[in-house]
């Protein structure tokens, strides 16, 4: 585009108040004040796909469907950021990336989403994710038949392997030359990053205990790519990347989606999916610019994160679907899974300064692939850490009950602290679920109630991981160890895929069993979560779904 300077707008605007993607243009995420052209669609003519949510699931799918020639409008409740001008290096300010409206938490172990809260931005949670990009262990796609727990996915791992590769190429993952675990995989597109001291501690500990470790495959550039520069190791990744080195949905799939003719509507909160008398969806009601509007669509895809997705389906109940859409199984909202995010922390004599560089530059998946001696089902990996001051103070105070002088003394050791943190597989349980609360949000829509309790298996895994990480940290030379026992991350489940309409919400193609033109494409469809961070798998599923939709359309089966 040579002429797009013409569109540039010198006026500062507030992307949290006024939608940016309007009048035939959307923000150019690579230039301050820049714009790119955007095709617009009429509300009165049905588009092929209305997609709710532009995160890992929805944003990826919007791109792939638009590139396949479908007409697409993707809605996001959040703002359309230009990282270079909108992102400060500041934990507090950058909470503007989060979904801050209350969700009510209960159960035996009420969730504290804390700084692992999901996003409300064009690009979804990937705008502030930590970029760790891991594949599932192949057996996890059939954990029920092969490993004896959880539920089987209706998808073969070999098919997923191809889609993983597509996502890794798109995100230009930097990773090790050869990966120590699982079946052979192609080389990562870019060389690994230099390890920071926090990552070196993980490596030392793993070597001392005789297990493999690796530089983390990670979605931040180790050399320039297109309009994005390499990572400068500023360490604010989970507050949003102000340089664009981070490869998020915002600066990878979405620019492609726009170029292929997709429309993105920012600050557009979908409140309800409309259904007709035939029991098909006809479009979405959404709130934008101070009023409720309606977009007609031949298909609707829900991709709002594992909390907001079931919330929208439940909020769209009608006389015909009194329990919410796609819910004949009664499973919409249930089988919510978090991942265990416990950690062991300690102190090094050397300066570590773990605020430098992406937080998790080294990891071990040893306990995802080794099964001997486990007294629990499932697996976990663990990674090096780099908490910024607010997160660190809250962790220290929350785990150890410290305040006053005792806390201030410990905080002074900030630059020497070091930690190992797990991402662990929780089992699906029907009692863990998202339902609707009595409280409503600013649009008058009931908010989500999130009920969570660990099961015994979760607790056994936690104990195993804490014990092992403690040994590893000690072997690496850390002293004054202590455990952070109550953190969780990464919500998934709540609209699981499967091969039986009685026990799942969508089929392998993310199509709802009950309503053939209603689809769900985000972390909600996971039957199990595995012991790795989910975003690569969510994007791989979205790529697969796009291919399947194309195939179905090709034979007139949409």
Partner 1 sequence: MPDETMPDNTSGRYPGYDVLAKRNGPSWNDKTRAVIDRRLAIDPEDHRIFDDAAWRTLKAVCDRIVPQPPKRAAPIPVAALLDRRLQEDRRDGHRDVRLPPIAEAWRRGLAALDAECRRAHDRPFHDLGPDQQDALLRAMQEGRLDDPAWEGMPSRLFFASRLLPDILEAYYSHPTAWNEIGFGGPASPRGYVRMGFDRRDPWEASEAKPGREDVAWEENRRVR
Residues at the site binding ligand SF4, with contacts judged by CB under 6 A: 220, 231-237, 241, 243, 245-246, 357-358
Chosen residue from 100, 319, 554, 557 binding partner 1 by CB under 8 A: 100
- Under the binding rule (CB under 6 A), the answer on residue 135 touching ligand FAD is no
Q: Which is nearer to partner 1, 118 or 143 (CB)?
A: 118
- Letter string b/e over residues 542-553, b meaning 16 or more CB atoms within 10 A of that residue's CB: bbbbbbebbeee
- Alpha-carbon distance of 338 to 367, in angstroms, equals 18
Per CB under 8 A, which region of 154-162, 263-271, 378-386, 397-405 contacts partner 1?
A: 397-405
Which residue shows structure tokens 């809250």? 394
Are the C-beta atoms of 190 and 223 separated by less than 8 Å? yes
For 3, residues 6+ apart whose C-beta sits below 8 A from its C-beta are none
- Under the binding rule (CB under 6 A), the answer on residue 518 touching ligand FAD is no
Please tell me what DSSP assigns to residue 398: H
Chosen residue from 20, 41, 120, 421 binding ligand FAD by CB under 6 A: 120
Which residue shows structure tokens 């993983």? 164
Residue 74: CB minimum distance to ligand FAD, A: 9
The separation between the first and the last C-alpha atoms of the chain, rounded to the nearest angstrom, is 35
393 binds, options partner 1, ligand SF4, ligand FAD, none, Cβ within 5 to 8 A by partner type: partner 1
Binding mask 439-478 for partner 1 (x = CB under 8 A): ----------xx----------------------------
- Under the binding rule (CB under 6 A), the answer on residue 334 touching ligand FAD is no
87 binds, options ligand SF4, partner 1, ligand FAD, none, Cβ within 5 to 8 A by partner type: partner 1
220 binds, options partner 1, ligand FAD, ligand SF4, none, Cβ within 5 to 8 A by partner type: ligand SF4
For 61, residues 6+ apart whose C-beta sits below 8 A from its C-beta are 51, 301, 303, 521, 542, 545, 546
Q: Helix axis angle, 456-475 relative to 197-209, nearest 10°?
A: 100
Q: Which is nearer to partner 1, 64 or 449 (CB)?
A: 449
- Under the binding rule (CB under 6 A), the answer on residue 119 touching ligand FAD is yes
Are the C-beta atoms of 485 and 387 separated by less than 8 Å? no
- Nearest in space to 147 (alpha carbons), one of 465, 422, 528: 528
Chosen residue from 135, 288, 490, 511 binding ligand FAD by CB under 6 A: 490
- Under the binding rule (CB under 6 A), the answer on residue 128 touching ligand FAD is yes
- Alpha-carbon distance of 25 to 38, in angstroms, equals 5
DSSP 319-376: SSSTT-TT-TTS-TTBS-EEEE--EEEEE-SS---TTSS-S--EEE-HHHH--TT-SS
519 binds, options partner 1, ligand SF4, ligand FAD, none, Cβ within 5 to 8 A by partner type: none
- Under the binding rule (CB under 8 A), the answer on residue 149 touching partner 1 is no
Site for partner 1 in 227-246 (CB under 8 A): 231-236, 242-243
Alpha-helical runs (H) found in 366-438: 366-369, 389-400, 405-411
Q: Which is nearer to ligand FAD, 252 or 533 (CB)?
A: 533
Question: 25-27 and 35-37: which strand pairing?
Answer: antiparallel
- Under the binding rule (CB under 6 A), the answer on residue 57 touching ligand FAD is yes
- Under the binding rule (CB under 8 A), the answer on residue 1 touching partner 1 is no
- Under the binding rule (CB under 6 A), the answer on residue 197 touching ligand FAD is no
CB count within 10 Å of CB 237 equals 25
Per CB under 8 A, which region of 67-75, 313-321, 412-420, 534-542 contacts partner 1?
A: 412-420
Binding site for ligand FAD (CB under 6 A): 52-58, 75-78, 116-121, 124-126, 128-132, 238, 269-270, 303-305, 308, 312, 490, 522-523, 533-536, 538
């Amino acid at each position: 585009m040579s002429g797009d300077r013409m569109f540039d707008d010198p006026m500062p605007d507030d992307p949290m108040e006024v939608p940016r993607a309007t009048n035939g243009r959307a923000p150019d995420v690579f230039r301050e004040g820049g714009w790119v052209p955007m095709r617009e669609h009429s509300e009165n003519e049905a588009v092929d796909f209305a997609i709710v949510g532009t995160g890992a699931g929805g944003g990826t799918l919007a791109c792939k469907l638009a590139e396949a020639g479908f007409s697409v409008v993707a809605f996001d409740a959040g703002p359309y950021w230009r990282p270079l001008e909108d992102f400060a290096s500041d934990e507090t300010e950058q909470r503007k990336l989060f979904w801050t409206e209350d969700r009510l938490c209960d159960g035996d172990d009420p969730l504290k989403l804390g700084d692992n809260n999901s996003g409300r931005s064009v690009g979804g949670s990937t705008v502030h994710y930590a970029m760790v990009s891991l594949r599932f262990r192949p057996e996890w796609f059939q954990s029920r038949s092969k490993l004896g727990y959880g539920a089987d996915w209706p998808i073969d791992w070999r098919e997923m392997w191809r889609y993983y590769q597509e996502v890794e190429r798109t995100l230009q993952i930097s990773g090790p030359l050869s990966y120590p675990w699982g079946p052979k995989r192609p080389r990562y597109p870019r060389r690994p990053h230099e390890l920071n001291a926090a990552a070196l501690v993980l490596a030392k500990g793993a070597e001392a205990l005789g297990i493999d470790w690796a530089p983390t495959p990670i979605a931040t550039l180790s050399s320039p790519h297109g309009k994005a520069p390499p990572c400068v190791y500023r360490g604010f990744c989970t507050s949003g990347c102000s340089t664009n080195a981070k490869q998020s949905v915002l600066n990878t799939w979405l620019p492609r989606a726009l170029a292929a003719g997709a429309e993105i509507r920012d600050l557009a909160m979908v409140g309800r999916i409309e259904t007709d008398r035939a029991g098909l969806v006809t479009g979405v009601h959404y709130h934008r610019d101070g009023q409720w509007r309606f977009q007609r669509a031949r298909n609707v895809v829900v991709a709002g994160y594992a909390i907001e997705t079931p919330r929208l389906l439940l909020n769209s109940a009608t006389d015909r679907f009194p329990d919410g859409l796609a819910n004949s199984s009664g499973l919409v909202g249930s089988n919510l899974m978090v991942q265990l995010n416990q950690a062991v922390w300690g102190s090094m004599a050397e300066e570590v300064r773990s605020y430098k560089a992406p937080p998790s530059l080294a990891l071990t998946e040893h306990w995802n692939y080794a099964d001997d001696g486990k007294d629990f089902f499932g697996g976990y990996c663990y990674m090096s850490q780099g908490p910024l001051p607010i997160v660190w103070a809250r962790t220290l105070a929350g785990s150890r009950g410290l305040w006053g002088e005792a806390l201030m003394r410990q905080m002074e050791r900030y630059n020497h602290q070091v930690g190992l943190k797990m991402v662990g597989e929780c089992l699906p349980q029907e009692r863990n679920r998202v339902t609707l609360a009595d409280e409503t949000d600013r649009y008058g829509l009931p908010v989500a109630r999130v009920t969570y309790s660990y099961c015994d298996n979760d607790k056994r895994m936690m104990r195993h991981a804490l014990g092992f990480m403690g040994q590893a940290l000690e072997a690496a030379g850390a002293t004054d160890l202590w455990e952070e026992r109550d953190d969780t991350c990464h919500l998934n489940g709540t609209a699981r895929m499967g091969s039986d309409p009685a026990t799942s919400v969508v089929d392998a193609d993310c199509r709802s069993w009950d309503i053939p033109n209603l689809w769900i494409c985000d972390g909600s469809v996971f039957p199990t979560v595995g012991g790795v961070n989910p975003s690569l798998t969510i994007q791989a599923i979205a790529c697969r779904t796009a291919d399947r939709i194309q195939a179905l359309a090709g034979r007139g089966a949409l």
